[in-house]
Structures are given as structure tokens and as C-alpha cells.
Amino acid sequence: MIRRIATMFAFVLTLVACGGDNSPVTGVATSGEDLFKRTVLGENAGCVTCHSLKEGVVLVGPPLAIIGADAGDRQAGVAAADYLRMSIVDPDNFVLDGFDPGRMPPDWAEQLSEADIEALVEYLLTLGAE
């Protein structure tokens, strides 16, 4: 009886671990999601500290709930992935109305590896994606 209960418990845990949130985040984007959710990233406050993932909820910087869906439309002639990458490594390049330049750390290219930046971009592209 105990063995049967233990087996059922293990099965339920496996099901929970394998799914449930229907997130479009896979592959490299999974690493980006992990990086985004850190409260400290390198020597700076992490992304989640200043950027909300809820539409309309402003912390310090703009909310990013649907950034993946609209990044390609924010700057004429700039692809979504390029817009996101530039926004990370040179944050004052694109400052949205209502937000002040100089608030986001300018040293992400030194604090993060190229792979980390790419993972963040890939994750951000999933936000708001259908």
C-alpha cells in the first residue's frame, strides 16, 4: 500500500513538473526567463526589480508584458530582436515617453555574457506572443 501511494505521489509530481503553465518559453528563452526573474543580475538590480510583467503596471521602467508582440513596431526599420538587444546594451537609445533616460544601468554588455543577452532577448520575444 505504501509503495502504491509513493508511486502515485511520484507520478503526480512528474506531471506537475512537466507542464501546467502553458508558457511559450522554451530552449534558450528559458535561460532568459531565469535571468529576468533574478532580483540581482551581475552588479545591478535585476530586470524584474524595475520592469513589471503585468500590462499597465509601472514599477521603475515600462511594463514588458507584451514587449515581444510590439517590439518590432516601436522603432521604424528595427526588427524586434534588434530593438530588444539595443534596449538592453544601450538603454538610452530608445526611451519611451513618460520615462527618464539614465534610469536603466548602461553596463549590461559588461555585466552579462553575449549568451545571457541573447537568452534575455529570446525570452522577451515570447512576452505577448500568441
Domains and CATH numbers, the chain: 23-126 (1.10.760.10)
For each successive 10 residues of the chain (130 residues), what is the average pLDDT? 41 35 72 95 94 96 96 96 97 94 95 96 92
Residue type, 87: S
Of 96, 113, 93, 118, nearest in space to 29 by CA: 118
pTM above 0.75, yes or no: yes
- pLDDT at 24 (0 to 100): 61
Cα torsion for 77, 96, 68, 36, to the nearest 10°?
130
Of 21, 29, 46, 37, nearest in space to 111 by CA: 46
Intra-chain end-to-end CA distance of the chain, in Å: 45
- pLDDT at 129 (0 to 100): 81
- pLDDT at 4 (0 to 100): 41
